[in-house]
A and B are shown apart, each in its own frame.
Chain A
Amino acid sequence: MIDVIWQPEFQQATFRCLVDAYSRPGQINVLPVSNSHSAIAVLATLVDGESSLSDPHQLLDNSDWLRLQIKSAAPEQAAFIVCEGSRAVDFEPNLGTLASPEHGATLVLTLDALSGGDSHYQLTGPGIQHAIQIAPQGLNKSWFTRRRHWNSAFPLGVDLLLTSAEGILALPRTTLIKEID
């Protein structure tokens, strides 16, 4: 049986979750029910042969690639990069240009859980009315360190999406992240 994530109705509902997640950084959004990991569901919703995708940690299997109708790209060039969040950053994503900042990559990270982690972070920025806290579980710290560097010259930068079995949490390039001791 083909999973629902490849159906237009699922992708429409998932897209609305993504819109809400990016509109309200730090908020955990639960995706519609499927048999796939949220990261794959998100890719099914946003990616096709007219975009580009990199999978440096080999999280996708052959049938995923076939259904996405897309060929693998290097992480330095890809519009979407899917990674294991527990591993350290080992590439430099596309940050876009001053004239075309939308070419800055979307990084989809898989995590054990979106909350309950040991490190706490405070978020402020567009979409956040009052500063909120997040504590993603199993996130390698290099992601936020490198992110600060990547996003240091707005409008250039990358947009993160943390994913786990429970749902998604978005961190657009405008969100300020501060670690709380």
Chain B
Amino acid sequence: MSNGINFAFLDEYAKREIRRSVIKAICIPGYQVPYSSREMPMGRGFGTGGLQLTLALIGADDTLKVIDQGSDDSVNAVNLRKFIEMTCPGIDTTTRLQEATLIQSRHRIPEQPLRADQILVLQVPYPDALVIVEPSEDKRKIMHGEADYSRLLVKLYEDIVKFDEITISHRYPTRINGHYIIDPSPIPRYDVPRLNHSEALILFGAGREKKIYAVPPHCLAEPLAFDDVPFRIEDFTDSHGERRACKLCGSKTSFLDEFIDEQGARVYQCSDSDYCEQQQELAHG
């Protein structure tokens, strides 16, 4: 290979360590397995944890999709995809979810359902849901082991008392298989229910914080909530009580990005660009 770079960049010892960690992550759903996390040639915080997972998983017969904020064409997604294409000769890349075997994503789970033969890798900036109530990792590890989440629940309860609403917008704490509570990465609340009994394995990689965790397929994933204050996804209804639609494909079910157009009007568009394009193709035959 040119530049003397290994297939998938990492040396085989680094891959083996990640592989051992991935297996333990699957065996202990929601537990953050520590790993040594090598430096990648892109910034910590730009998806190096997800990238290391992808590089430990990928083989020449894989078809890869990389998305950032739902888009295959955002600069960071392009950058990661280019790097993986450069270091993994032989792989295919795609923007179509259905063609992908491996999907690396930041901040979104694709709109369309995943299949059993696909693996979703999510990039994680903050792996630990307990960090808002306990800064010491030493103590958090014990709390996780004992499934002691009382302080987190108190925090949510205080929110409700103060605002009559749970104010956590994204990174919504989610309990996996009735034990560990995870930070599901900064996916919107809209995506959280799709962690529950997913067909595909979902892996989480936090490079800077050096953690790997997993939600296996067909595994219980419950967003934290109270009986009288249910978990709620983002609300896209307008002032007339109508669900807003994507201005490009007309979808009234997808997660929408909101922005201000040239005329100063507020407009909405699918966040998942692949889904949006496929909807438009269907509409135009």
A129–B196 Cα distance when bound, in Å, is 12
Closest to B117 in A: A20
A84-108 contact mask (Cβ, 8 Å, vs B): 1 or 0: 0000000000000111111010100
A16–B116 Cα distance when bound, in Å, is 13
The reply to whether B145 and A97 form a contact with Cβ atoms under 8 Å apart is yes
A141-181 contact mask (Cβ, 8 Å, vs B): 1 or 0: 00000000000001100010000000000001110000000
The reply to whether A19 and B24 form a contact with Cβ atoms under 8 Å apart is no
Does B63 count as interface, using CB distance less than 8 angstroms? no
The reply to whether A173 and B28 form a contact with Cβ atoms under 8 Å apart is yes
A99–B219 Cα distance when bound, in Å, is 22
Closest to B218 in A: A129
Neighbour of B59 across the interface among A13, A22, A155, A173, CB < 8 A: A13
The reply to whether B142 and A51 form a contact with Cβ atoms under 8 Å apart is no
Q: Which residues of B are found within 8 Å of A159, using beta-carbon distances? A: 23-24, 27
Q: Which residues of A are found within 8 Å of B141, using beta-carbon distances? A: 99-100
Query: How near does chain A come to B55, taking the closest CB pair, in angstroms?
Result: 10
Consensus secondary structure, chain B interface:
mixed
Neighbour of A155 across the interface among B16, B20, B31, CB < 8 A: B31
The reply to whether B19 and A45 form a contact with Cβ atoms under 8 Å apart is yes
Enumerate B134-189 residues with CB–CB distance to A below 8 Å.
141-142, 144-146, 177, 179-180
Does B124 count as interface, using CB distance less than 8 angstroms? no
The reply to whether A174 and B29 form a contact with Cβ atoms under 8 Å apart is yes
Given A98-B142, A172-B27, A19:B57 Cβ within 8 A:
yes
Given A159-B24, A174-B27, A47:B16 Cβ within 8 A:
yes
The reply to whether B16 and A19 form a contact with Cβ atoms under 8 Å apart is no
Q: Which residues of A are found within 8 Å of B267, using beta-carbon distances? A: none
Closest to A161 in B: B23
Please name 13 further chain A to chain B contacts, defined as beta carbons within 8 Å, in addition to the given A19-B119, A159-B23, A172-B27, sorted by A numbering: A12-B57, A12-B59, A19-B57, A22-B23, A23-B201, A50-B17, A99-B141, A99-B145, A126-B217, A127-B216, A155-B28, A172-B26, A174-B29
Closest 5 A-B residue pairs measured CB to CB? A98-B145, A172-B27, A126-B219, A99-B141, A102-B24
Residues of B at under 8 Å CB distance from A?
6-8, 12-13, 15-17, 19-29, 31, 33-34, 56-60, 116, 119, 141-142, 144-146, 177, 179-180, 197, 201, 216-220
